[in-house]
């Protein structure tokens, strides 16, 4: 089984959870992130600190010293991170075909055609109103 490429900029599931905390709560120190991850993830302080430092090295978060603790803030947007992960997933699982992904969602009954139609209408409305902003 092939492992993750060394130096890969893709986020691990734990890194993504930490990013979600920062996107939702805003700038946070290690303890605040650790507390927000509980009770689902009972992680040691050092583990959270290590993961935040990895995200910092990857350029996904910035940190600034506040007193004796670093405060971390997301610099990568949710849209960019999710988009990159989704492109990677579609490439690996569906040969790069977004249509095959949608067909799989429909066939597995995770989304129905009515929902796709409603989403299509919503996208058209957003694209129409986007020029007014």
pLDDT digits (tens, 9 = 90+) for 76-111: 999 999 999 999 999 999 999 999 999 999 999 999
Give me the percent of the chain exceeding a pLDDT of 90.
Answer: 83
Same domain, 28 and 68: yes
Rounded to whole angstroms, the Cα distance separating 16 from 14 reads 5
Q: What's the mean per-residue pLDDT of the chain? A: 90
What mean pLDDT comes out for the span 31-52? 96
Same domain, 67 and 17: yes
pLDDT band of 130, cuts 50, 70, 90: low
Residue 45 structural domain? 13-74
* Residue with more model confidence, 70 or 9: 70
Burial of residue 47 (number of CB atoms within 10 Å: 0-12, 13-18, 19+): middle
Same domain, 60 and 25: yes
pLDDT at 8: 61
Q: Are 35 and 24 in contact (CB under 8 A)?
A: no
What mean pLDDT comes out for the span 60-68? 96
């Amino acid at each position: 089984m092939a492992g993750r490429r060394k130096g890969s900029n893709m986020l691990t599931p734990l890194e993504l959870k930490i990013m979600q905390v920062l996107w939702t709560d805003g700038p946070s120190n290690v303890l605040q992130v650790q507390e927000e991850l509980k009770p689902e993830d009972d992680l040691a302080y050092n583990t959270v600190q290590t993961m935040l430092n990895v995200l910092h090295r990857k350029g996904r978060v910035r940190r600034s010293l506040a007193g004796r603790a670093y405060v971390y803030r997301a610099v990568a947007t949710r849209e960019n991170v999710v988009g990159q992960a989704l492109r990677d997933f579609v490439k690996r699982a569906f040969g790069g075909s977004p249509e095959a992904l949608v067909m799989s969602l429909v066939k597995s009954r995770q989304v129905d055609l009515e929902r796709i139609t409603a989403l299509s209408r919503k996208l058209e409305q957003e694209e129409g109103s986007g020029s007014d902003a």
